[in-house]
Structure 1
């Protein structure tokens, strides 16, 4: 699969997720097998580009190529300027968000709310494509709600506007993340386009990824929530697609090293105070299928320093690796 000049291999992609797909997580997922990692959504409003949040979201120093940055907004001219700004700051692919179902985004008529305005969609896409010399991609849903499933129309507009690849989450906006992804709709969109199409929604295992690729005819799959606390899923999917067999899951010792490295990167990237806080959700995801996970989260979430957080995590997994019940203190 190619997006412009970039070869995407393996053909499994980390979906953009606000508050999740920051640089430490993208770097980790790329190292563990993702062919492409899309950044969390960045605002197109230049008033917020100098905030700490935006500076972190636009930091791509040392990030493996190709670097894909997602932008969100509603004004074609402003979106075009945001695309140029992000390319100047390292973006090699610009992704446009028309798939986010979050209320605060849709209330501003951004994200998936834009699908209700096909003419505005065309104006935004054409403006962004004309503004930059890198490939522009688009992420959409199947529509706004059950009665407004207009993804095929938006897909045609995208191709005509010069979009290099299209990612489709197989749900309408009003479904949020409930129900079942509509792979038939994604297959119909793929059949009508000549640009690469990426299938997204409920892809949570290597076998599911292979099924979705076969059923939809898509060029790649995109994994979102299933990667939370399980970043090695990309390597597992890639292995299955190449060899037709499932790879053994990582050992507890391997999970320990992955997690500790992730925590250290978060602490270094955000600074100790913010890094410790942001790491808590990742710790919960890593531990969700582990024994004593509730007790572990209750203790580790009270850690106020990087050293405490790392020590508690290290001790917890050391006990699991040794085959003993972790001894968790009453307080961090």
Structure 2
């Protein structure tokens, strides 16, 4: 599989773009655990054009995380094209177009998956961005707006005709948000459409090595994109790679290593931002890491862990959890 000049190995695994999740610190960890391509948080084209500092900060790319795709969202062709030119100055390997975000503050304003109700504008945005930059342009979208408008098979052809070099598809409609099961059958239909020549990347509910293998084998996708299954567990990419290559499950990572990874991510996030904001930015990962699942009577400790914005206090909580619940376990 190839996008532009990037040649990927067999069974490529991509880290999905996620707001407040895929910051540089987390992307770098996922890359170190064998993710083949990582995506930034989605970036507002309008805010980028207005030189909003927090938005510009999202363009930060660490050399160790490459290849990287910068994902943009917006609702106007001219603004998206201008933002793409700005994003290109950060030297990403790919510019990705967000046509899939379902949250109200994005889709409700006609951006993200909201564009699935205005296909002519979606196509116009794609054409303008492709013309405006010299790096490969890709797109990420959903099956359609709702069950009555699953248009992805036709839309994929139209996007390919606009010049995108790969398409990622989340197997839900916008109406589903993140509920129900992802439907990969239409993703497979897009991939098996003889008119499609660009790589098709499948996304949705890949949370285990077995499921990743099934998606490759059953639907024929060129790559699998992992989103929520990676939150708090960047090593999922290594687990899946091992299974795809050997057919065997990788032994569970030692508890001590999991704690070290959590701490490393917190420190990296602080280095990127500052102590308070860096800790706040890792809370979603702390809330979702499998380290703390199943621990009895953990509620008060969890609340304290997710409320502190002081590094010394946070590490003290983590060390106490490790010694209290795991002892010398490895």
Q: TM-score, normalised by structure 2?
A: 0.93
1:196 corresponds to which residue? Answer: 199
2:67 corresponds to which residue? Answer: 66
The 5 A counterparts of 1:95-134 are: 95-134=96-135
Gaps of 5+ in 1: 325-332
2:277 corresponds to which residue? Answer: 274
1:327 corresponds to which residue? Answer: none
Q: In structure 2, how many angstroms separate the alpha carbons of the residues matched to 1:47 and 1:187?
A: 35
Higher RCO, Cα 8 Å, sep 6+ = 2
Q: In structure 2, how many angstroms separate the alpha carbons of the residues matched to 1:22 and 1:52?
A: 15
1:133-188 Cα deviation digits (max 9, x unpaired): 11111001000001011111110011111111000000100001111111110010
The question of 1:294 aligning with 2:312 is answered no
Identify the range of structure 1 (114-123 vs 32-41) with the bigger mean alpha-carbon deviation: 114-123
Q: How many residues matched?
A: 324
The 5 A counterparts of 1:31-110 are: 31-46=32-47, 50-110=51-111
Q: In structure 1, how many angstroms separate the alpha carbons of the residues matched to 2:182 and 2:48?
A: 36
Gaps of 5+ in 2: none
1:263 touches 1:310 (CA, 8 Å); kept in 2? no
2:223 corresponds to which residue? Answer: 220
CA shift, 1:294, in A, is 2.4
The question of 1:314 aligning with 2:315 is answered no
CA shift, 1:323, in A, is 5.0
The question of 1:6 aligning with 2:6 is answered yes
Q: TM-score, normalised by structure 1?
A: 0.93
CA shift, 1:53, in A, is 2.2
1:48 touches 1:54 (CA, 8 Å); kept in 2? no
CA shift, 1:209, in A, is 0.4
CA shift, 1:290, in A, is 4.7
Q: Which runs of 4+ in 1 moved over 3 A?
A: 46-50, 318-321
CA shift, 1:37, in A, is 0.8
Q: In structure 1, how many angstroms separate the alpha carbons of the residues matched to 2:317 and 2:227?
A: 28
Q: In structure 2, how many angstroms separate the alpha carbons of the residues matched to 1:304 and 1:284?
A: 15
CA shift, 1:239, in A, is 1.0
Change (3 A) 1:80 1:304: closer
Q: In structure 2, how many angstroms separate the alpha carbons of the residues matched to 1:288 and 1:320?
A: 9
> Per the alignment, in what secondary structure is the counterpart of residue 276 of structure 2?
helix
2:39 touches 2:69 (CA, 8 Å); kept in 1? yes
Q: In structure 2, how many angstroms separate the alpha carbons of the residues matched to 1:232 and 1:49?
A: 37
1:252 touches 1:320 (CA, 8 Å); kept in 2? no
1:101-124 Cα deviation digits (max 9, x unpaired): 111111110011112222222211
Q: In structure 1, how many angstroms separate the alpha carbons of the residues matched to 2:309 and 2:262?
A: 18
Q: In structure 1, how many angstroms separate the alpha carbons of the residues matched to 2:286 and 2:294?
A: 11
Q: Superposition RMSD on alpha carbons, in Å?
A: 1.7
CA shift, 1:220, in A, is 0.7
